[in-house]
């Protein structure tokens, strides 16, 4: 694994290289557009979004995949949560540009993110997703069977990965957000605009 802030380059035999790096502020607009394209206009209504609303991603655990031309082609973030009283991370959303989905970008993002979480001392990761896909990274429904999400969800899709054996032993109850509150960039810009308008009026 590369050191924090370094660029990891993942290659495939079928296509040009792509790089996985820490998410940058300049990625945000492209990231939002990618998520809209992948999950639709109602993505903010999804149950797992309740764990992310108004929160910042876990420090050092927001990643972007970029093509050789610098274009954002994939995104993945992890967030702090309490899993029934046990500190953990929730992973998602994972999104890859539809034109790049055969290149292994999603898998590369998963491997990179899990390794980064482990290196930072995190003990467990949760997600809501398809077991056949995420099972290859070690996720299963077994350790999440006593946990709940704050909204409707399919039980078999709530999955967990212990980065430390036994980390989720006894985890029971509601999964709740615990991460730092996100800065309100839009509100800050609006206030700045009002001050500027007042100054020039």
Q: What is each CA distance from 65 to 6, 9, 19, 76, 102, in whole angstroms? A: 13, 9, 5, 9, 14
pTM of the model: 0.84
> Which of 76, 103, 101 minimizes the C-alpha distance to 91?
76
Q: What is the pLDDT of residues 148-184, one digit of tens each?
A: 999 999 999 999 999 999 999 999 999 999 999 998 7
**Strand, coil or helix: 11:** coil
What domains are defined for the chain? 8-200 (3.40.630.30)
Q: What is the pLDDT of residues 95-110, one digit of tens each?
A: 999 999 999 999 999 9
Q: Please tell me the distance from the alpha carbon of residue 19 to that of residue 9, in angstroms, as a whole number.
A: 4
């Amino acid at each position: 694994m590369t050191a924090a802030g370094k660029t990891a380059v993942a290659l495939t035999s079928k296509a040009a290289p792509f790089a996985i790096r820490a998410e940058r502020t300049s990625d945000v607009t492209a990231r939002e557009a990618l998520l809209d394209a992948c999950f639709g206009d109602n993505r903010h209504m999804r149950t797992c979004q309740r764990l992310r609303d108004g929160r910042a991603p876990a420090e050092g655990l927001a990643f972007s995949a970029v093509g050789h031309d610098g274009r954002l082609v994939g995104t993945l973030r992890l967030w702090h949560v309490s899993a029934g009283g046990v500190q953990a991370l929730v992973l998602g959303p994972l999104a890859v540009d539809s034109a790049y989905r055969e290149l292994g970008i999603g898998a590369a993002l998963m491997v990179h993110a899990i390794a980064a979480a482990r290196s930072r001392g995190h003990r467990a990761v949760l997600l809501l997703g398809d077991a056949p896909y995420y099972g290859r990274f070690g996720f299963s429904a077994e350790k999440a069977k006593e946990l709940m999400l704050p909204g409707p969800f399919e039980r078999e899709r709530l999955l967990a990965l212990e980065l430390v054996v036994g980390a989720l032993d006894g985890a029971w109850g509601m999964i709740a957000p615990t991460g730092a509150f996100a800065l309100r960039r839009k509100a800050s810009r609006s206030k700045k605009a009002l001050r500027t308008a007042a100054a020039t009026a």
